[in-house]
Structure 1
Protein backbone atom coordinates (compact mmCIF):
# COMPACT_ATOMS: atom_id res chain seq x y z
CA UNK A 1 0.00 0.00 0.00
CA UNK A 2 1.26 3.46 -0.87
CA UNK A 3 1.96 6.10 1.75
CA UNK A 4 -1.29 8.00 2.41
CA UNK A 5 -0.22 10.68 4.88
CA UNK A 6 2.87 12.81 4.60
CA UNK A 7 4.77 14.32 7.46
CA UNK A 8 3.36 17.13 9.56
CA UNK A 9 -0.28 16.78 8.46
CA UNK A 10 -3.05 16.37 11.03
CA UNK A 11 -3.76 12.77 10.05
CA UNK A 12 -0.05 12.04 10.24
CA UNK A 13 0.14 13.04 13.89
CA UNK A 14 -3.12 11.24 14.64
CA UNK A 15 -1.63 8.05 13.24
CA UNK A 16 1.56 8.61 15.24
CA UNK A 17 -0.48 8.91 18.44
CA UNK A 18 -2.45 5.78 17.58
CA UNK A 19 0.76 3.87 16.86
CA UNK A 20 2.27 5.01 20.16
CA UNK A 21 -0.90 3.97 21.98
CA UNK A 22 -0.90 0.55 20.33
CA UNK A 23 2.75 -0.04 21.23
CA UNK A 24 2.19 1.01 24.85
CA UNK A 25 -1.02 -1.02 25.06
CA UNK A 26 0.62 -4.12 23.59
CA UNK A 27 3.56 -3.71 25.95
CA UNK A 28 1.23 -3.38 28.92
CA UNK A 29 -0.66 -6.53 27.96
CA UNK A 30 2.57 -8.45 27.44
CA UNK A 31 4.01 -7.30 30.75
CA UNK A 32 0.80 -8.03 32.65
CA UNK A 33 0.62 -11.48 31.10
CA UNK A 34 3.98 -12.29 32.65
CA UNK A 35 3.53 -10.27 35.84
CA UNK A 36 0.01 -11.34 36.80
CA UNK A 37 0.05 -14.90 35.51
CA UNK A 38 3.28 -15.63 37.38
CA UNK A 39 1.49 -14.95 40.69
CA UNK A 40 -0.30 -17.95 42.09
CA UNK A 41 -3.30 -17.68 44.37
CA UNK A 42 -1.21 -19.17 47.18
CA UNK A 43 1.48 -16.51 46.80
CA UNK A 44 -1.11 -13.74 46.88
CA UNK A 45 -2.84 -15.22 49.93
CA UNK A 46 0.48 -15.40 51.77
CA UNK A 47 1.22 -11.77 50.92
CA UNK A 48 -2.30 -10.68 51.86
CA UNK A 49 -1.99 -12.28 55.30
CA UNK A 50 1.66 -11.86 56.25
CA UNK A 51 3.25 -9.37 53.86
CA UNK A 52 4.16 -5.78 54.48
CA UNK A 53 1.24 -3.29 54.65
CA UNK A 54 1.99 -2.23 51.09
CA UNK A 55 2.15 -5.82 49.82
CA UNK A 56 -1.11 -6.65 51.60
CA UNK A 57 -2.81 -3.75 49.87
CA UNK A 58 -1.42 -4.76 46.50
CA UNK A 59 -2.39 -8.42 46.93
CA UNK A 60 -5.93 -7.51 47.98
CA UNK A 61 -6.40 -5.57 44.74
CA UNK A 62 -4.92 -8.26 42.51
CA UNK A 63 -6.59 -11.37 43.97
CA UNK A 64 -10.09 -10.73 42.50
CA UNK A 65 -8.53 -10.21 39.07
CA UNK A 66 -6.23 -13.25 39.15
CA UNK A 67 -8.82 -15.55 40.70
CA UNK A 68 -10.09 -16.70 37.29
CA UNK A 69 -6.70 -17.25 35.70
CA UNK A 70 -7.83 -18.64 32.36
CA UNK A 71 -10.26 -15.77 31.78
CA UNK A 72 -7.53 -13.27 32.64
CA UNK A 73 -5.04 -15.02 30.38
CA UNK A 74 -7.43 -15.04 27.42
CA UNK A 75 -8.27 -11.37 27.94
CA UNK A 76 -4.65 -10.25 28.04
CA UNK A 77 -3.66 -12.33 25.02
CA UNK A 78 -6.64 -11.15 22.96
CA UNK A 79 -5.86 -7.50 23.72
CA UNK A 80 -2.17 -8.03 23.02
CA UNK A 81 -2.85 -9.76 19.71
CA UNK A 82 -5.34 -7.07 18.65
CA UNK A 83 -2.83 -4.29 19.33
CA UNK A 84 0.00 -6.05 17.50
CA UNK A 85 -2.18 -6.84 14.49
CA UNK A 86 -3.49 -3.27 14.28
CA UNK A 87 -0.04 -1.68 14.46
CA UNK A 88 1.10 -2.53 10.88
CA UNK A 89 -2.21 -1.24 9.51
CA UNK A 90 -1.57 2.27 10.79
CA UNK A 91 2.14 2.11 9.98
CA UNK A 92 1.32 1.13 6.42
CA UNK A 93 -0.34 4.52 5.93
CA UNK A 94 2.86 6.35 6.88
CA UNK A 95 5.67 4.24 5.41
CA UNK A 96 6.13 1.59 2.78
CA UNK A 97 5.05 -2.01 3.35
CA UNK A 98 8.51 -3.33 4.18
CA UNK A 99 9.11 -0.32 6.41
CA UNK A 100 5.84 -0.97 8.26
CA UNK A 101 6.84 -4.57 8.90
CA UNK A 102 10.34 -3.62 10.03
CA UNK A 103 9.21 -0.81 12.32
CA UNK A 104 6.31 -2.78 13.81
CA UNK A 105 8.53 -5.76 14.59
CA UNK A 106 11.16 -3.51 16.17
CA UNK A 107 8.65 -1.55 18.24
CA UNK A 108 6.80 -4.65 19.42
CA UNK A 109 9.99 -6.55 20.24
CA UNK A 110 11.62 -3.72 22.16
CA UNK A 111 8.76 -1.72 23.67
CA UNK A 112 6.07 -4.38 23.54
CA UNK A 113 7.96 -7.43 24.82
CA UNK A 114 11.46 -6.98 26.24
CA UNK A 115 11.09 -3.81 28.32
CA UNK A 116 7.54 -4.44 29.66
CA UNK A 117 8.26 -8.03 30.64
CA UNK A 118 11.53 -7.05 32.30
CA UNK A 119 9.81 -4.36 34.35
CA UNK A 120 6.70 -6.39 35.22
CA UNK A 121 8.71 -9.44 36.22
CA UNK A 122 10.39 -7.28 38.88
CA UNK A 123 7.56 -4.94 39.88
CA UNK A 124 4.59 -7.08 38.88
CA UNK A 125 2.82 -6.75 42.23
CA UNK A 126 2.84 -2.95 42.29
CA UNK A 127 2.03 -2.56 38.59
CA UNK A 128 -0.68 -5.21 38.70
CA UNK A 129 -2.45 -3.55 41.63
CA UNK A 130 -2.27 -0.16 39.91
CA UNK A 131 -3.86 -1.31 36.65
CA UNK A 132 -6.24 -3.85 38.24
CA UNK A 133 -9.34 -1.65 37.64
CA UNK A 134 -8.32 -1.18 34.00
CA UNK A 135 -7.82 -4.93 33.59
CA UNK A 136 -11.31 -5.54 34.96
CA UNK A 137 -12.72 -3.27 32.26
CA UNK A 138 -10.80 -5.21 29.61
CA UNK A 139 -12.16 -8.47 30.99
CA UNK A 140 -15.72 -7.22 30.52
CA UNK A 141 -14.96 -5.90 27.03
CA UNK A 142 -13.39 -9.17 25.89
CA UNK A 143 -15.84 -11.32 27.86
CA UNK A 144 -17.89 -12.56 24.87
CA UNK A 145 -14.74 -13.99 23.26
CA UNK A 146 -12.54 -14.72 26.27
CA UNK A 147 -15.17 -16.47 28.41
CA UNK A 148 -15.90 -19.42 26.07
CA UNK A 149 -12.18 -19.97 25.51
CA UNK A 150 -11.48 -19.82 29.25
CA UNK A 151 -14.21 -22.37 29.92
CA UNK A 152 -12.68 -24.67 27.33
CA UNK A 153 -9.32 -24.31 29.07
CA UNK A 154 -10.98 -25.02 32.42
CA UNK A 155 -12.45 -28.20 30.97
CA UNK A 156 -9.20 -29.37 29.38
CA UNK A 157 -6.67 -28.24 31.99
CA UNK A 158 -8.73 -27.98 35.15
CA UNK A 159 -9.96 -24.99 37.11
CA UNK A 160 -8.27 -23.27 40.00
CA UNK A 161 -5.07 -25.29 40.19
CA UNK A 162 -3.43 -24.49 43.53
CA UNK A 163 0.29 -25.13 43.79
CA UNK A 164 0.87 -26.15 47.40
CA UNK A 165 4.27 -27.26 48.65
CA UNK A 166 4.97 -30.77 49.84
CA UNK A 167 6.84 -31.34 53.09
CA UNK A 168 10.17 -31.87 51.35
CA UNK A 169 9.66 -28.72 49.29
CA UNK A 170 8.74 -26.71 52.39
CA UNK A 171 11.88 -27.94 54.11
CA UNK A 172 14.01 -26.91 51.12
CA UNK A 173 12.24 -23.55 51.05
CA UNK A 174 12.97 -22.98 54.73
CA UNK A 175 16.63 -23.86 54.23
CA UNK A 176 16.87 -21.40 51.35
CA UNK A 177 15.53 -18.66 53.63
CA UNK A 178 18.19 -19.35 56.24
CA UNK A 179 20.97 -16.80 56.56
CA UNK A 180 23.50 -19.60 56.08
CA UNK A 181 22.27 -20.14 52.51
CA UNK A 182 23.68 -16.76 51.50
CA UNK A 183 20.53 -15.65 49.67
CA UNK A 184 19.55 -12.85 52.02
CA UNK A 185 17.27 -14.93 54.26
CA UNK A 186 16.51 -13.82 57.80
CA UNK A 187 16.13 -17.21 59.49
CA UNK A 188 18.92 -18.29 61.81
CA UNK A 189 20.41 -21.77 61.90
CA UNK A 190 18.43 -22.67 65.03
CA UNK A 191 15.17 -21.46 63.47
CA UNK A 192 15.66 -23.45 60.28
CA UNK A 193 16.60 -26.52 62.31
CA UNK A 194 13.47 -26.25 64.48
CA UNK A 195 11.15 -25.72 61.50
CA UNK A 196 12.75 -28.53 59.51
CA UNK A 197 12.50 -30.82 62.52
CA UNK A 198 8.80 -30.03 62.93
CA UNK A 199 8.19 -30.85 59.26
CA UNK A 200 9.96 -34.20 59.66
CA UNK A 201 8.16 -35.07 62.89
CA UNK A 202 5.39 -37.14 61.31
CA UNK A 203 7.95 -39.30 59.53
CA UNK A 204 10.09 -39.88 62.61
CA UNK A 205 9.89 -42.76 65.07
CA UNK A 206 11.33 -43.01 68.57
CA UNK A 207 14.15 -45.21 67.28
CA UNK A 208 15.28 -42.44 64.92
CA UNK A 209 16.05 -40.20 67.90
CA UNK A 210 17.74 -42.91 69.94
CA UNK A 211 21.50 -43.46 70.16
CA UNK A 212 22.83 -47.03 70.40
CA UNK A 213 24.22 -47.79 73.85
CA UNK A 214 27.54 -48.73 72.28
CA UNK A 215 27.87 -45.19 70.89
CA UNK A 216 26.62 -43.41 74.00
CA UNK A 217 29.03 -41.44 76.17
CA UNK A 218 28.85 -42.99 79.65
CA UNK A 219 31.08 -42.90 82.72
CA UNK A 220 31.85 -45.52 85.34
CA UNK A 221 30.40 -44.99 88.80
CA UNK A 222 33.83 -45.69 90.28
CA UNK A 223 35.65 -43.25 87.98
CA UNK A 224 37.43 -40.22 89.38
CA UNK A 225 36.25 -36.76 88.37
CA UNK A 226 39.75 -35.59 87.56
CA UNK A 227 40.72 -32.92 85.07
CA UNK A 228 40.80 -35.30 82.09
CA UNK A 229 37.33 -36.69 82.76
CA UNK A 230 35.90 -33.23 83.45
CA UNK A 231 37.34 -31.91 80.18
CA UNK A 232 35.89 -34.90 78.34
CA UNK A 233 32.44 -34.27 79.84
CA UNK A 234 32.60 -30.62 78.81
CA UNK A 235 33.80 -31.52 75.32
CA UNK A 236 30.79 -33.81 74.78
CA UNK A 237 28.45 -30.90 75.47
CA UNK A 238 25.67 -32.95 77.08
CA UNK A 239 23.56 -31.66 79.96
CA UNK A 240 23.25 -35.17 81.41
CA UNK A 241 25.67 -38.09 81.38
CA UNK A 242 24.63 -41.72 82.01
CA UNK A 243 26.44 -43.59 84.78
CA UNK A 244 27.00 -47.34 84.59
CA UNK A 245 28.07 -50.01 87.04
CA UNK A 246 30.58 -52.68 85.94
CA UNK A 247 29.13 -52.96 82.39
CA UNK A 248 28.22 -50.11 80.04
CA UNK A 249 24.84 -51.67 79.39
CA UNK A 250 24.04 -51.53 83.11
CA UNK A 251 22.98 -47.89 83.36
CA UNK A 252 22.04 -47.03 86.93
CA UNK A 253 21.40 -43.31 86.67
CA UNK A 254 22.34 -39.89 85.35
CA UNK A 255 24.45 -37.04 86.62
CA UNK A 256 23.66 -33.44 85.78
CA UNK A 257 26.66 -31.68 84.31
CA UNK A 258 25.69 -28.43 86.05
CA UNK A 259 26.19 -30.19 89.40
CA UNK A 260 29.87 -30.65 88.52
CA UNK A 261 30.47 -26.90 88.63
CA UNK A 262 31.08 -27.06 92.37
CA UNK A 263 33.63 -29.87 92.06
CA UNK A 264 37.33 -29.08 91.71
CA UNK A 265 39.19 -31.47 89.37
CA UNK A 266 42.18 -31.65 91.69
CA UNK A 267 40.02 -33.21 94.41
CA UNK A 268 39.43 -36.26 92.16
CA UNK A 269 36.07 -37.03 93.72
CA UNK A 270 34.53 -40.34 92.73
CA UNK A 271 31.44 -40.27 90.54
CA UNK A 272 29.52 -42.30 93.11
CA UNK A 273 29.99 -39.51 95.64
CA UNK A 274 28.08 -36.94 93.58
CA UNK A 275 24.34 -36.74 93.18
CA UNK A 276 23.14 -39.42 90.77
CA UNK A 277 19.60 -39.39 89.51
CA UNK A 278 18.37 -42.94 89.55
CA UNK A 279 16.54 -44.46 86.59
CA UNK A 280 13.25 -46.14 87.58
CA UNK A 281 13.34 -49.88 87.03
CA UNK A 282 9.85 -50.90 88.05
CA UNK A 283 6.59 -49.36 86.87
CA UNK A 284 3.18 -49.81 88.37
CA UNK A 285 0.61 -50.74 85.75
CA UNK A 286 -2.91 -49.56 86.50
Structure 2
Protein backbone atom coordinates (compact mmCIF):
# COMPACT_ATOMS: atom_id res chain seq x y z
CA UNK A 1 0.00 0.00 0.00
CA UNK A 2 2.85 2.38 0.78
CA UNK A 3 4.47 1.70 -2.59
CA UNK A 4 1.16 2.33 -4.41
CA UNK A 5 0.63 5.57 -2.48
CA UNK A 6 4.15 6.70 -3.35
CA UNK A 7 3.60 5.95 -7.03
CA UNK A 8 0.34 7.93 -7.04
CA UNK A 9 2.09 10.85 -5.36
CA UNK A 10 4.92 10.76 -7.89
CA UNK A 11 2.49 10.59 -10.81
CA UNK A 12 0.47 13.50 -9.38
CA UNK A 13 3.60 15.60 -8.95
CA UNK A 14 4.77 14.73 -12.49
CA UNK A 15 1.43 15.78 -13.97
CA UNK A 16 1.57 19.09 -12.07
CA UNK A 17 5.04 19.72 -13.45
CA UNK A 18 3.87 18.89 -16.98
CA UNK A 19 0.88 21.23 -16.61
CA UNK A 20 3.11 24.07 -15.43
CA UNK A 21 5.55 23.48 -18.27
CA UNK A 22 2.74 23.44 -20.83
CA UNK A 23 1.35 26.72 -19.52
CA UNK A 24 4.79 28.33 -19.57
CA UNK A 25 5.50 26.95 -23.03
CA UNK A 26 2.18 28.21 -24.38
CA UNK A 27 2.83 31.60 -22.80
CA UNK A 28 6.29 31.76 -24.35
CA UNK A 29 4.94 30.92 -27.80
CA UNK A 30 2.16 33.47 -27.47
CA UNK A 31 4.55 36.18 -26.29
CA UNK A 32 7.07 35.43 -29.04
CA UNK A 33 4.33 35.52 -31.66
CA UNK A 34 3.53 39.07 -30.64
CA UNK A 35 7.08 40.15 -29.80
CA UNK A 36 8.83 38.80 -32.89
CA UNK A 37 6.11 39.39 -35.44
CA UNK A 38 5.27 42.91 -34.30
CA UNK A 39 8.65 44.19 -35.57
CA UNK A 40 9.14 44.24 -39.32
CA UNK A 41 12.41 43.31 -40.97
CA UNK A 42 13.00 46.98 -41.72
CA UNK A 43 12.63 47.87 -38.03
CA UNK A 44 15.09 45.15 -37.06
CA UNK A 45 17.60 46.24 -39.70
CA UNK A 46 17.37 49.83 -38.50
CA UNK A 47 17.99 48.74 -34.91
CA UNK A 48 20.83 46.42 -35.97
CA UNK A 49 22.63 49.24 -37.80
CA UNK A 50 21.91 52.31 -35.69
CA UNK A 51 20.38 51.22 -32.37
CA UNK A 52 21.97 51.10 -28.95
CA UNK A 53 24.88 48.64 -28.63
CA UNK A 54 22.82 46.14 -26.65
CA UNK A 55 19.84 46.44 -29.00
CA UNK A 56 22.12 45.93 -31.98
CA UNK A 57 23.23 42.57 -30.61
CA UNK A 58 19.63 41.56 -29.96
CA UNK A 59 18.52 42.54 -33.47
CA UNK A 60 21.45 40.72 -35.11
CA UNK A 61 20.47 37.51 -33.27
CA UNK A 62 16.80 37.82 -34.21
CA UNK A 63 17.14 38.77 -37.88
CA UNK A 64 18.26 35.33 -39.17
CA UNK A 65 15.44 33.66 -37.24
CA UNK A 66 12.59 35.88 -38.48
CA UNK A 67 13.88 36.26 -42.03
CA UNK A 68 11.20 33.82 -43.20
CA UNK A 69 8.27 35.35 -41.35
CA UNK A 70 5.60 32.88 -42.45
CA UNK A 71 7.75 29.93 -41.34
CA UNK A 72 8.40 31.38 -37.88
CA UNK A 73 4.73 32.35 -37.56
CA UNK A 74 3.53 28.85 -38.41
CA UNK A 75 6.07 27.31 -36.01
CA UNK A 76 5.03 29.47 -33.07
CA UNK A 77 1.32 28.96 -33.69
CA UNK A 78 1.68 25.19 -34.06
CA UNK A 79 3.63 24.95 -30.81
CA UNK A 80 1.16 27.21 -29.03
CA UNK A 81 -1.81 25.19 -30.28
CA UNK A 82 -0.15 21.91 -29.30
CA UNK A 83 0.45 23.13 -25.75
CA UNK A 84 -3.09 24.47 -25.40
CA UNK A 85 -4.60 21.23 -26.67
CA UNK A 86 -2.42 19.03 -24.44
CA UNK A 87 -3.17 20.96 -21.25
CA UNK A 88 -6.80 19.72 -20.78
CA UNK A 89 -5.64 16.14 -21.33
CA UNK A 90 -3.40 16.22 -18.26
CA UNK A 91 -5.87 18.28 -16.24
CA UNK A 92 -8.61 15.75 -16.98
CA UNK A 93 -6.65 13.15 -15.00
CA UNK A 94 -6.69 15.36 -11.90
CA UNK A 95 -10.10 17.03 -11.96
CA UNK A 96 -13.43 16.61 -13.70
CA UNK A 97 -13.95 17.51 -17.36
CA UNK A 98 -15.67 20.79 -16.47
CA UNK A 99 -12.95 21.63 -13.99
CA UNK A 100 -10.28 20.83 -16.55
CA UNK A 101 -11.86 23.23 -19.05
CA UNK A 102 -12.24 26.03 -16.51
CA UNK A 103 -8.72 25.66 -15.13
CA UNK A 104 -7.11 25.38 -18.56
CA UNK A 105 -8.95 28.44 -19.85
CA UNK A 106 -8.00 30.44 -16.75
CA UNK A 107 -4.36 29.39 -16.81
CA UNK A 108 -3.97 29.97 -20.54
CA UNK A 109 -5.75 33.30 -20.47
CA UNK A 110 -3.75 34.67 -17.56
CA UNK A 111 -0.35 32.99 -17.83
CA UNK A 112 -0.48 31.97 -21.49
CA UNK A 113 -1.81 35.15 -23.10
CA UNK A 114 -2.14 38.30 -20.98
CA UNK A 115 1.10 38.27 -18.97
CA UNK A 116 3.43 36.90 -21.71
CA UNK A 117 2.12 39.28 -24.37
CA UNK A 118 2.35 42.24 -22.01
CA UNK A 119 5.95 41.38 -21.14
CA UNK A 120 6.99 40.63 -24.74
CA UNK A 121 5.41 43.82 -25.99
CA UNK A 122 7.83 45.78 -23.81
CA UNK A 123 10.87 43.48 -23.83
CA UNK A 124 10.27 41.51 -27.03
CA UNK A 125 13.70 42.32 -28.49
CA UNK A 126 15.64 41.07 -25.48
CA UNK A 127 13.45 37.98 -24.94
CA UNK A 128 13.49 37.10 -28.63
CA UNK A 129 17.28 37.30 -28.77
CA UNK A 130 17.62 35.17 -25.63
CA UNK A 131 15.41 32.31 -26.86
CA UNK A 132 16.50 32.53 -30.52
CA UNK A 133 18.47 29.23 -30.34
CA UNK A 134 15.46 27.49 -28.79
CA UNK A 135 13.21 28.87 -31.54
CA UNK A 136 15.61 27.48 -34.16
CA UNK A 137 15.17 24.04 -32.64
CA UNK A 138 11.39 24.40 -32.72
CA UNK A 139 11.56 25.41 -36.39
CA UNK A 140 13.39 22.21 -37.25
CA UNK A 141 10.98 20.11 -35.18
CA UNK A 142 7.88 21.65 -36.77
CA UNK A 143 9.49 21.98 -40.21
CA UNK A 144 7.59 19.08 -41.88
CA UNK A 145 4.26 20.72 -41.03
CA UNK A 146 5.18 24.41 -40.83
CA UNK A 147 7.17 24.63 -44.06
CA UNK A 148 4.38 23.53 -46.48
CA UNK A 149 1.93 25.89 -44.79
CA UNK A 150 4.43 28.76 -44.94
CA UNK A 151 5.03 28.16 -48.65
CA UNK A 152 1.29 28.28 -49.28
CA UNK A 153 1.12 31.58 -47.42
CA UNK A 154 4.07 32.87 -49.46
CA UNK A 155 2.27 32.01 -52.68
CA UNK A 156 -1.05 33.49 -51.59
CA UNK A 157 0.08 36.53 -49.60
CA UNK A 158 3.61 37.01 -50.92
CA UNK A 159 6.84 36.64 -49.01
CA UNK A 160 7.83 40.29 -49.09
CA UNK A 161 6.77 42.11 -45.93
CA UNK A 162 9.00 45.17 -46.29
CA UNK A 163 7.17 47.95 -44.48
CA UNK A 164 8.77 50.95 -46.18
CA UNK A 165 7.19 54.35 -45.67
CA UNK A 166 5.94 56.53 -48.48
CA UNK A 167 7.19 60.10 -48.64
CA UNK A 168 4.13 61.55 -46.92
CA UNK A 169 4.31 58.92 -44.17
CA UNK A 170 8.04 59.46 -43.72
CA UNK A 171 7.47 63.20 -43.45
CA UNK A 172 4.84 62.66 -40.76
CA UNK A 173 7.20 60.27 -38.95
CA UNK A 174 9.93 62.92 -38.95
CA UNK A 175 7.52 65.52 -37.60
CA UNK A 176 6.49 63.17 -34.79
CA UNK A 177 10.17 62.77 -33.85
CA UNK A 178 10.56 66.51 -33.46
CA UNK A 179 10.97 67.79 -29.91
CA UNK A 180 8.04 70.14 -30.53
CA UNK A 181 5.63 67.22 -31.01
CA UNK A 182 5.74 66.40 -27.29
CA UNK A 183 6.51 62.69 -27.84
CA UNK A 184 10.10 62.71 -26.62
CA UNK A 185 11.72 63.22 -30.01
CA UNK A 186 15.25 64.60 -30.29
CA UNK A 187 14.99 66.44 -33.62
CA UNK A 188 14.92 70.23 -33.49
CA UNK A 189 12.53 72.39 -35.48
CA UNK A 190 15.25 73.30 -38.00
CA UNK A 191 16.18 69.64 -38.50
CA UNK A 192 12.59 68.55 -39.12
CA UNK A 193 12.09 71.48 -41.50
CA UNK A 194 15.21 70.58 -43.50
CA UNK A 195 14.32 66.87 -43.71
CA UNK A 196 10.71 67.62 -44.66
CA UNK A 197 11.90 70.06 -47.32
CA UNK A 198 14.25 67.46 -48.79
CA UNK A 199 11.40 64.93 -48.98
CA UNK A 200 9.26 67.44 -50.88
CA UNK A 201 11.88 68.29 -53.50
CA UNK A 202 10.51 65.87 -56.11
CA UNK A 203 7.07 67.46 -55.83
CA UNK A 204 8.25 71.06 -56.13
CA UNK A 205 8.96 73.12 -59.22
CA UNK A 206 11.10 76.23 -59.64
CA UNK A 207 7.99 78.40 -59.28
CA UNK A 208 7.51 77.19 -55.69
CA UNK A 209 10.89 78.66 -54.71
CA UNK A 210 10.38 81.95 -56.54
CA UNK A 211 8.79 85.17 -55.34
CA UNK A 212 6.44 86.97 -57.75
CA UNK A 213 7.99 90.16 -59.09
CA UNK A 214 5.00 92.12 -57.83
CA UNK A 215 5.80 91.07 -54.26
CA UNK A 216 9.55 91.63 -54.52
CA UNK A 217 11.13 94.51 -52.63
CA UNK A 218 13.47 96.34 -54.99
CA UNK A 219 14.83 99.86 -55.30
CA UNK A 220 15.36 102.11 -58.29
CA UNK A 221 18.92 102.62 -59.44
CA UNK A 222 18.30 106.38 -59.50
CA UNK A 223 16.99 106.44 -55.91
CA UNK A 224 18.96 108.02 -53.12
CA UNK A 225 20.06 106.23 -49.98
CA UNK A 226 18.62 108.78 -47.59
CA UNK A 227 17.37 108.10 -44.10
CA UNK A 228 13.91 106.97 -45.27
CA UNK A 229 15.36 104.53 -47.81
CA UNK A 230 17.87 103.15 -45.30
CA UNK A 231 15.11 102.65 -42.73
CA UNK A 232 12.98 100.89 -45.35
CA UNK A 233 15.84 98.52 -46.25
CA UNK A 234 16.44 97.86 -42.56
CA UNK A 235 12.74 97.21 -42.00
CA UNK A 236 12.56 94.65 -44.81
CA UNK A 237 15.49 92.77 -43.26
CA UNK A 238 16.85 91.28 -46.49
CA UNK A 239 20.58 90.66 -46.88
CA UNK A 240 20.35 91.41 -50.60
CA UNK A 241 18.22 94.06 -52.25
CA UNK A 242 17.43 93.90 -56.00
CA UNK A 243 18.00 97.00 -58.06
CA UNK A 244 15.88 97.84 -61.13
CA UNK A 245 16.10 100.34 -63.94
CA UNK A 246 13.01 102.39 -64.90
CA UNK A 247 10.51 99.60 -64.05
CA UNK A 248 10.46 96.97 -61.25
CA UNK A 249 10.45 94.06 -63.67
CA UNK A 250 13.77 95.16 -65.16
CA UNK A 251 16.13 93.88 -62.46
CA UNK A 252 19.73 94.75 -63.32
CA UNK A 253 21.53 93.59 -60.18
CA UNK A 254 21.55 93.67 -56.42
CA UNK A 255 23.30 95.35 -53.53
CA UNK A 256 24.40 93.76 -50.29
CA UNK A 257 22.82 95.28 -47.21
CA UNK A 258 26.10 94.95 -45.30
CA UNK A 259 27.79 97.24 -47.83
CA UNK A 260 25.48 100.03 -46.75
CA UNK A 261 26.95 100.18 -43.25
CA UNK A 262 29.59 102.71 -44.33
CA UNK A 263 27.08 104.99 -46.05
CA UNK A 264 25.76 108.01 -44.17
CA UNK A 265 22.07 108.78 -44.78
CA UNK A 266 22.86 112.54 -44.69
CA UNK A 267 24.98 112.21 -47.83
CA UNK A 268 21.97 110.87 -49.80
CA UNK A 269 24.26 108.69 -51.90
CA UNK A 270 22.63 107.52 -55.16
CA UNK A 271 22.13 103.80 -55.50
CA UNK A 272 24.07 103.77 -58.76
CA UNK A 273 27.17 104.87 -56.88
CA UNK A 274 27.09 101.77 -54.71
CA UNK A 275 28.59 98.46 -55.83
CA UNK A 276 25.85 96.65 -57.74
CA UNK A 277 26.45 92.96 -58.11
CA UNK A 278 25.29 91.02 -61.11
CA UNK A 279 22.79 88.27 -60.53
CA UNK A 280 22.37 85.03 -62.53
CA UNK A 281 19.39 84.92 -64.88
CA UNK A 282 17.49 82.16 -66.64
CA UNK A 283 14.94 82.20 -69.41
CA UNK A 284 11.86 80.08 -69.70
CA UNK A 285 11.97 77.30 -72.29
CA UNK A 286 9.33 78.86 -74.52
CA UNK A 287 11.24 82.16 -74.57
CA UNK A 288 14.41 80.33 -75.53
CA UNK A 289 12.60 78.55 -78.35
CA UNK A 290 11.22 81.85 -79.59
CA UNK A 291 14.72 83.29 -79.65
CA UNK A 292 16.10 80.27 -81.53
CA UNK A 293 13.36 79.95 -84.09
When normalised by structure 2's length, the TM-score is 0.87
CA shift, 1:55, in A, is 1.5
CA shift, 1:244, in A, is 2.0
Residue of structure 2 in register with 1:36 after alignment: 36
Taking a change above 3 Å as real, the CA distance of residues 62 and 280 of structure 1, as seen in their structure-2 partners, is: closer
Structure 1 stretches lacking a partner, 5+ long: none
Taking a change above 3 Å as real, the CA distance of residues 9 and 204 of structure 1, as seen in their structure-2 partners, is: same
Structure 2 stretches lacking a partner, 5+ long: 284-291
Residue of structure 2 in register with 1:79 after alignment: 79
CA shift, 1:157, in A, is 0.8
Alignment check: 8 A CA contact 1:68 1:160 kept: no
Alignment check: 8 A CA contact 1:32 1:128 kept: yes
Residue of structure 2 in register with 1:256 after alignment: 256
Taking a change above 3 Å as real, the CA distance of residues 139 and 211 of structure 1, as seen in their structure-2 partners, is: same
Alignment check: 8 A CA contact 1:69 1:160 kept: no
- Identify the range of structure 1 (75-84 vs 224-233) with the bigger mean alpha-carbon deviation: 224-233
Alignment of 1:93-132 (within 5 A): 93-132=93-132
Alignment of 1:109-188 (within 5 A): 109-188=109-188
CA distance in 1, matches of 2:282, 2:19: 90
CA shift, 1:135, in A, is 0.4
Residue of structure 2 in register with 1:13 after alignment: 13
Q: Secondary structure at the match of 1:159?
A: coil
Taking a change above 3 Å as real, the CA distance of residues 101 and 227 of structure 1, as seen in their structure-2 partners, is: farther
Taking a change above 3 Å as real, the CA distance of residues 157 and 18 of structure 1, as seen in their structure-2 partners, is: same
CA distance in 2, matches of 1:228, 1:91: 95
- How many residues are paired up? 279
RMSD of aligned alpha carbons: 2.5
Matched, 1:210 2:210: yes
- Identify the range of structure 1 (244-253 vs 217-226) with the bigger mean alpha-carbon deviation: 217-226
When normalised by structure 1's length, the TM-score is 0.89
Q: Secondary structure at the match of 2:248?
A: strand
